[in-house]
Amino acid sequence: MPEPVKPRAVGFNHVALEVGDIDEALAFYGRLFAFELRGKSQDMAFIDLGDQFLALQKGRRQPADDGRHFGLVVDDKEAARRALAEAGVEVVPGSFLDFRDPWGNRVQIVGYEGIQFSKSPDVLRGMGLAHLAKTPEAVKELGDKGMGPA
């Protein structure tokens, strides 16, 4: 019997983080990152990431995350490092730029230029980030997968 056709996972639409309070979460993340709010209710907020979004949902009850995390791509990793320091947010020890928000969600900061993740030119332009470019290493990684410039 032929194997059933499976859908292919192609990316993320959003990541949802549980937080204790929506307004406090927006204030916390607003001290660290420039962002536009896509929408907000009493129990949810949606931070716009161009063609994706970060959902904040009221109701965090579990303990702090240890290894579980998500990688948040930024246009300037060193500016993120400075913003964390200025806000008094402790960086998790290790070789990455990880931190925990006040509710224990672990976030890893990743610079856009050095990874395979890519926004389309149209999305970058719409976000006011058309100037972002990839490192030669990231371009090679993409090219090795047939995803480099045509």
**Segment 108-141, tens digit of pLDDT:** 999 999 999 899 999 999 999 999 999 999 999 9
Pairing of strands 36-40, 44-48: antiparallel
Parse the chain into domains and list their residue ranges.
Answer: 14-144
91-92, strands of its sheet edge to edge: 70-74, 106-111, 97-100, 91-92
Q: Between these two residues, 45 and 4, which has the higher pLDDT value? A: 45
CATH class of 14-144: alpha beta
22-32 helix and 77-86 helix, angle to the nearest 10 degrees: 120
Rounded CA-CA distance 120/127 in Å is: 11
Which residue do the tokens 């032929």 mark? 2
Phi-psi region of 83 (alpha: psi -120 to 50; beta: other; left: phi over 0): alpha
The residue that leads in pLDDT, 148 or 16, is: 16
pLDDT on residue 1: 84
